Amino acid sequence: MIDSTGSVIYAALNGLAARQRVIANNVANVETPGFIAGRVSFEDSLREAIAGGDAADTSVAMRRSADPVNVNGNNVSLDNEVVSLTQTDLGYQLMIRALNNKFGLLRTAIGTGA
């Protein structure tokens, strides 16, 4: 049932879920001395995988933030994390809507309607 569109949506949802976990970890450690925030990137890898014809080749990369640190050596900015979480949530909602639309088309095609 998973075609190329479904594979792209699946890969994007995996990347967004990984980003959401890292953001949650960053927020949980906002006051931890010496904690360096994490960042997740997968969009470039997803683009390359789509261009190569196989979204399953997408890799999710986690790296440490290069943002400046404050007095206690921590570089988590709660404002930046909230913005990133909002962007991630919007991307996740978009992917879920795309998946729902895809399944709606399948239902219509097999005659069960919706």
Q: What is the pLDDT of residue 1?
A: 47
**CB neighbours of residue 42 within 10 Å:** 20
- pTM equals 0.86
How high is the pLDDT of residue 114?
A: 54
Domain-located, residue 114 = no
Burial letters for 4-17: b for 16+ Cβ neighbours within 10 Å, e otherwise?
eebbbbbbbbebbe
pLDDT in tens, the chain (114 residues): 468 888 999 999 999 999 999 999 999 999 999 999 999 999 999 999 999 988 889 999 999 999 999 999 999 999 999 999 999 999 999 999 999 998 888 888 888 655
DSSP 23-37: HHHHHHTTT-TT---
Question: CB-based contacts of 10: which residues, under 8 Å, 6+ apart?
Answer: 2, 55
Per the structure, the complete domain to which residue 35 belongs is given by: 4-109
Which 8-state DSSP code applies to residue 42?
Answer: -
Q: How many domains does the chain have?
A: 1
